[in-house]
Amino acid sequence: MFQALVNPDRFMAFSRWAAPLFGVIALVLAAAGLVLDFQAPPDYQQGYTVHIMFIHVPAAFMSEFVYVCLGVASFLSLVFRHALATAAARAAAPLGAGFTLLALVTGSLWGRPTWGTWWVWDPRLTSVLVLFLFYLGYMALEAAIEDETKAARAAAILALVGLINLPIVHYSVVWWNSLHQGSSLLRAGGPAMPAVYLAPLLLMVFAYMAGFGALWLVRIRGEVWRRRAAVLAMRAAT
Amino acid sequence: MFDFDAGRYALFVWPAYAVTALVFAILILDSLLRARRWRRAVEAAKPEAPQ
Amino acid sequence: MSGFSLILRRELALSWAGGGGPFLALGFYVAMASLLPLALGADPARMAGIAPGFAWLVLALASLLSLERMFERDFEDGALDLIALGPAPLEMTALAKGLAQWIAIAAPLALLAPVIVAALGAPTRLTPIVVTCGLIGGLSFCFLGGVGAALSLGSRRGGVLIALIVLPLFTPPVIFGAGAIEAFVAGLDWRTPLLLLCAYSLGATALCPFAMAAAARNAIS
């Protein structure tokens, strides 16, 4: 299995069946999650808007999870200079940015009916906003440098700097929020989430993870082909 | 069986689901089309060695 | 340590010379401060409430201004290649560049800050905390900024790109510094946030040179 991650040809063979499989798993989990989602009763505090939680929390979780994946891929890319690692880092960024955007938009829509404003400086939403800026900076840096190898390395360094900073950002935002006794998005159902909410939530989180797995593999495949095409074009030109 | 009665929250809940579906659609289409484009580029440049 | 002081002296000379040294950043600081009453309406009570936080924020922004030049001159005239090949580790030069930026740009900004705060109507008793946060936070801004400057070497967008990379990284020091200042104003515990700011700045000073050197090596490779 490890070979599939290290050897590009083995990776292509592995991802050829793995990507669609993850895709199918994602769809099945999402279907199950959505079924349970709309069978769940309205929350005693938030009413029907609790249904947004089932698409907001997975998106917020994935925005962080993908950044960690990006960081690990970047680290491997820097240390081992492995082309697959570089491809994986590059492929993950737009997906992470997409999840982060979803977390922000759904978070805003979730907060509006409960708090009366379109944005709340809730520690989690604020952290997600900063994370969104991390993603944008990463993608901007990579796009701004012409030489592809240099661009990948620079972006990898930035990803690692961002990864180290991420827990500190979390801590500082939580600390600041506790000072101001700011609003915090209420957990549906009070302190302990009842099973009727927990089940669809977990299903959706796993659905999002499987979906990310599928899309990440597809994008890495695209990257591998892109590099091969570039190499072939260079050989043809000489 | 399913509770779709959003009442006054409909204005917030359904757009949230719509945006989610839209972003996923974009990510899926972009990823698949991108991969397909580069696979075809490789196949065009090197027809004698498939995959 | 005489080698390091030589490098530091060179970097200081570079920072002070060309582009007017700290005056660009100081001028920006004053200009922004003048815009606040225009943007806000000259209600003194409202401005005085915002003044400390605003002055702190603009101090952070002003430190972005001369970041581009931190590596650019050496990169363009080939000096960076020589430095990288030389006896001193590139990390040490990166440390010197960050410190030079702090001494030449951040320290003047920190000293101007209480003047700005007072000009915007906040009480002058805030001076010690504002200067302290400006000096300590300035370390973070200079070293994080240095990482941004090194990463964008050879890129097309320069200054704006550095800002986009660096500003989200500024989040913790901005929060801790603002927390210390606001706590001081309100008579609450200002020591904790100040200590957090110190911890962050020391961490940044210690770690950023490694990222700066790696990025610089990448750019000249």
Q: What is the pLDDT of residues A25-74, one digit of tens each?
A: 999 999 999 999 998 888 877 788 889 999 999 999 999 999 999 999 99
List the single residue in B16, B31, B35 with the smallest CB-CB distance to A225.
B35
Helices C107-119 and C127-151, axial angle in degrees (round to 10):
130
Q: Which of A186, A63, A43, A192 is nearest to A136 (CA)?
A: A63
Domain ranges of chain B: 7-45
Question: In chain A, whose CA is at the least distance from the CA of B6?
Answer: A48
* The two structure tokens encoding residue A152: 């990948």
- What's the whole-number mean pLDDT along residues C162-183? 94
CB under 8 Å to A161, separation ≥6 — which residues? C147, C169, C211
Residue type (1 letter), B20: T
| Count of H-run helices and E-run strands, chain B | 1, 0
- The model's pTM is 0.91
Q: Is C24 on the interface with A (CB under 8 A)?
A: no
Question: Which of the two residues, A4 and C110, has the higher pLDDT score?
Answer: C110
Asked if C151 lies within 8 A of A147 by C-beta distance, the reply is no
Whether C130 and C113 have beta carbons less than 8 Å apart is answered as: yes
Q: Residue C97: pLDDT above 80? A: yes
Output the CA–CA distances (angstroms, integers) from residue A101 to A106, B19, B20, in the order listed: 8, 10, 10
β-bridge partners, A47: A43
pLDDT in tens, C10-21: 888 888 776 667
Whether A228 shows a pLDDT value over 60: the answer reads: yes
Q: What's the CA gap between A56 and A112, in Å, rounded?
A: 14
Residues C146/C67, Cβ–Cβ less than 8 Å: yes
Q: Quick one: pLDDT at residue A189?
A: 47
CA distance A109 to C190: 36
DSSP C106-130: IHHHHHHHHHHHHHTT--GGGHHHH
Averaged pLDDT for residues C114-118: 93
Angstrom distances, CA of residue A208 to CA of A34, A54, A61, A92, A199 = 12, 11, 9, 14, 14
Whether A172 sits inside 8 A of C172 (CB atoms) is: yes
Nearest to C70 by CA among C59, C62, C80: C80
User: CB-CB: which of C152, C176, C178 is closest to A144?
Assistant: C152
What is the distance between the alpha carbons of residues A104 and A111, in angstroms, rounded to a whole number?
A: 10
CA distances from C213 to C56, C63, C192, C217 (A): 29, 20, 32, 6
Residue A145: beta bridge partners?
C155
3-state class of C31 per DSSP?
A: helix
Q: Other CB atoms closer than 10 Å to residue C2's CB: what's the count? A: 6
Contacts of C125 by beta carbon, 8 Å cutoff, 6+ apart:
none
pLDDT digits 0-9 by tens, A143-161: 999 899 999 999 999 999 9
Q: Does A20 touch chain B (CB under 8 A)?
A: no
Q: How confident is the model at residue C1 (pLDDT cuts 50, 70, 90)?
A: low
Residues belonging to chain C? 221
Structural contact between residues C141 and C63, judged by C-beta atoms closer than 8 angstroms: yes
Assess whether chains C and B touch, using the rule of 3 or more C-beta pairs within 8 angstroms: no
Whether residue C201 contacts residue C139, with contact meaning beta carbons closer than 8 Å, is answered with yes
Angle between helices A148-180 and C159-169 (to 10 degrees): 40
Q: How far apart are the first and last CA of chain A?
A: 37
Q: How confident is the model at residue C56 (pLDDT cuts 50, 70, 90)?
A: very high
C175 contact residues in A (CB cutoff 8 A): 172-173, 175-176
Residue A120 has pLDDT above 80, yes or no: no
- Of A44-53, A186-195, C78-87, C194-203, the poorest mean pLDDT is in A186-195
Classify each residue of A189-203 as buried b or exposed e, where b means 16 or more C-beta atoms within 10 Å of its C-beta. Answer: beeeeeeebebbbbb
In terms of Cβ atoms closer than 10 Å to its own Cβ (0-12, 13-18, 19+), residue A44 is exposed
Sign of CA dihedral A161, A166, A171, A174: positive
Residues of C in contact with A137 (CB under 8 A): 164-165, 168
CA distance C122 to B25: 52
Q: Which of B11, B12, B22, B29 to mutate to test the interface with A (most CBs of A within 10 A)?
A: B12
Nearest to A20, CA basis, from A218, A207, A203: A218
B9 and A112 within 8 Å at the Cβ level: the answer is: no
Question: What domain count does chain C have?
Answer: 1
d(CA C48, CA C157) in angstroms, rounded, equals 37
Nearest to C216 by CA among C66, C49, C45, C98: C98
Which domain covers residue C205, as residue numbers?
2-220
Coil vs helix vs strand at C64: coil
Q: What are the pLDDT digits (tens) for A182-200? A: 555 545 445 567 888 899 9
- Chain C residues whose CB is inside 8 A of the A147 CB are 154
Identify the DSSP state of C201.
H
The answer for A 112-131 residues in CB contact with C (under 8 A) is 130
Dist. CA C179–CA A174, nearest whole Å: 12
